[in-house]
């Protein structure tokens, strides 16, 4: 059963990729198609940059929390961070 699912998935993936490639080859022959394709690529790149900035901000927030707790433990060794 799993083999059939994988075969069907790969068949659908291949056919959709080929269809998108065919549509792209048609679209780049027309000026409006080129503009729309450029806008689409720009939107995809912008979304990827926003996601990367979000992940970086999330990492820095977690890191600063750990650093603040470590500094508070060093500066006030007898107290827990929750009471400071």
Query: pTM for the full model?
Result: 0.58
pLDDT digits (tens, 9 = 90+) for 38-75: 899 999 999 999 999 999 999 999 999 999 999 988 88
Q: For residues 66 and 59, what is the distance between their CA atoms, to the nearest angstrom? A: 11
Q: Which residues contact 68 (CB under 8 A, 6 or more apart)?
A: 81
CA-atom Rg of the chain in angstroms: 25
Residues 6+ apart with CB under 8 A from 27: 33, 34, 36, 37
Confidence of residue 23 (pLDDT cuts 50, 70, 90): confident
């Amino acid at each position: 059963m799993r083999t059939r699912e994988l075969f069907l998935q790969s068949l659908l993936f291949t056919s959709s990729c080929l269809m998108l490639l065919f549509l792209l080859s048609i679209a780049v022959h027309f000026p409006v198609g080129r503009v729309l394709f450029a806008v689409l690529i720009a939107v995809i790149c912008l979304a990827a940059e926003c996601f990367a900035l979000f992940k970086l901000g999330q990492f820095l927030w977690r890191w600063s929390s750990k650093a603040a707790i470590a500094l508070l433990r060093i500066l006030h060794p007898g107290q827990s961070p929750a009471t400071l």
